[in-house]
Amino acid sequence: MLNIAVFVSGGGTNLQALIDAQKSGIIKNGKIGLVVSSKEGVFALERAKNANIPYVVCPRKDFSDNESYSNELLKILEENNIGVVVLAGFMTVLKGEILKKYKNKIINVHPALIPSFCGDGFYGLKVHEKALEYGVKITGATVHFVNDVTDGGAIILQKSVEIENDDTPEILQKRVMEQAEWKILPLAVELFCAGKIEISGNKTIIKR
């Protein structure tokens, strides 16, 4: 049973999808042992409390740069024997040692079909604003491993979502979450915990 840490920064709907997947048995080879938030007072923490999951707040604002912040997160992971990290709406780009020690053990969900609308500056609602601005007809979500290139690690799962005429960034964000993120993130986490993801260079092979 792998010990899972979930990193959050906001509402935590993806965390909720993971909690629900654990309850329903979709995630069965891992257990969420810790939630780490980069901000105080976010609703994701209420979700952790309600599910009786231990949590810590490690505020990004207390650190001068992403690397010193990432080093503190690494300490927390090692102290808690964490085997896999899930970034679920986590708004800091991880840097330095943590990426080496947890190579191919950090999983992120991104609200677009990588390599579109990704990289530095593409996060949260902004991703959907850019997709609508460009006029694409299909977007979606991607679950991938984290490496030192923002949104550049090996892709695990993707799911497409159609854009509709009257979409606003908020409406589109909700559809992408409901139809894609909340489904493929728990599936990818279970695939990882069950040892079913083979990594070859920057590609994955899923053993179903």
Q: Give me the residues that bind ligand GAR (CB under 6 A), please.
A: 10-14, 44, 88-89, 109-111, 123-124, 127, 177, 181
Question: In this structure, what token pair is assigned to residue 41?
Answer: 């007072």
Of the two residues 126 and 207, which places its CB atom closer to ligand GAR in the complex? 126
Q: Report the residue closest to ligand GAR, judged by CB.
A: 89
The string of DSSP letters for 29-87 reads SEEEEEEEESSTT-HHHHHHHHTT--EEE--GGGSSSHHHHHHHHHHHHHHTT-SEEEE
Of the two residues 92 and 204, which places its CB atom closer to ligand GAR in the complex? 92
Of the two residues 120 and 200, which places its CB atom closer to ligand GAR in the complex? 120
Dihedral sign computed on CA atoms, order 31, 207, 159, 118? positive
Active-site residue, from 110, 130, 144, 175: 110
**Measured from the CB of residue 207, what is the shortest distance to ligand GAR in angstroms?**
26
DSSP letter for 90, please.
Answer: -
**Measured from the CB of residue 182, what is the shortest distance to ligand GAR in angstroms?**
9
The answer to whether 110 is a known catalytic residue is yes
What three-state secondary structure class fits 12?
coil
Of the two residues 50 and 81, which places its CB atom closer to ligand GAR in the complex? 50
Q: Which helix (H) or strand (E) holds 183?
A: helix 182-193
Cβ–Cβ < 8 Å for 141, 181: yes
**Measured from the CB of residue 8, what is the shortest distance to ligand GAR in angstroms?**
6
**Measured from the CB of residue 173, what is the shortest distance to ligand GAR in angstroms?**
6
Annotated active-site positions, please?
A: 110
